Chain A
Amino acid sequence: GAGVSQSPRYKVAKRGQDVALRCDPISGHVSLFWYQQALGQGPEFLTYFQNEAQLDKSGLPSDRFFAERPEGSVSTLKIQRTQQEDSAVYLCASSLVGLAGGSYTDTQYFGPGTRLTVL
């Protein structure tokens, strides 16, 4: 079974470039989260989607960050005019929120992340 996939796995950008990071959640998962993980730190929440609706973007660090999930499945995190402080691993997670195998589950499943390096 396919898990959460992210692409690209590694991205090197020059300062000022725009980047787009893709997340393919597990099929049928309602909830989708983006987290940012700086080196040596734990993941920090960026934004949350329920289907196609972006219900919480309180963690986005600036208006250079934009996320979308237009059809309620694939999501893209876009960073405009990248800065060196944007260098981090960007993690995507999805969750079903419902019954699976007869029991309730809302576990978040994480993708492998995209490591962004801004030079």
Chain B
Amino acid sequence: GNSVTQMEGPVTLSEEAFLTINCTYTATGYPSLFWYVQYPGEGLQLLLKATKADDKGSNKGFEATYRKETTSFHLEKGSVQVSDSAVYFCALRKGRGTGTASKLTFGTGTRLQVTL
């Protein structure tokens, strides 16, 4: 079956530090890959996505590259801010559009805490 594995948290960084959150996946075919973020007290928000191999998703200074050869989609940011403190979820989706394959499979989440 499909699965997503994320690095354990919490990750604690000082402001302006470099961030990497590892994510690897298991799936047949060519899934789409996502990073969602959950800020304290808020719902899940899409942060970025990539739909095919070697695509790079980016948003708000965060980046992730779809690496099919290593089945990975690691999240990176060059300089984190206190406001980036949240829980980050890596997810995959087998299919597009409508249909049962469009459901998301999530990792367990990685909590990031950024301090001054």
Contacts and interface: CB of A to CB of B under 8 A. Distances in A.
Interface residues of B, number: 23
A30 B102 CA distance: 12
Given A42-B89, A43-B44, A107-B46, A55 B100 contact: yes
B43 A111 contact: yes
A48 B103 contact: yes
Instruction: Bin chain A's interface residue count.
Output: 20 to 34
A75 to B, nearest CB: 15
Given A41-B108, A42-B107, A95 B102 contact: yes
B29 interface: no
Contacts, number: 64
A105 B108 CA distance: 26
Interface of A: 3-4, 30-31, 33, 35, 40-45, 48, 50, 55-56, 58-59, 91, 93, 95, 97, 106-113
B99 A55 contact: yes
Given A42-B106, A106-B96, 13 more contacts: A35-B104, A40-B108, A43-B89, A43-B106, A44-B106, A45-B103, A50-B99, A56-B100, A95-B102, A97-B97, A109-B46, A110-B36, A112-B42
Nearest to B101: A56
B102 A45 contact: no
Interface in B71-106: 89, 91, 96-100, 102-106
B14 interface: no
Contact of A31 (B4, B102, B105): B102
B32 to A, nearest CB: 9
A110 B100 CA distance: 17
Contacts of B115: none
B104 A43 contact: yes
Contacts of A95: 102
A110 B43 contact: yes
Contacts of B31: none
B109 A42 contact: yes
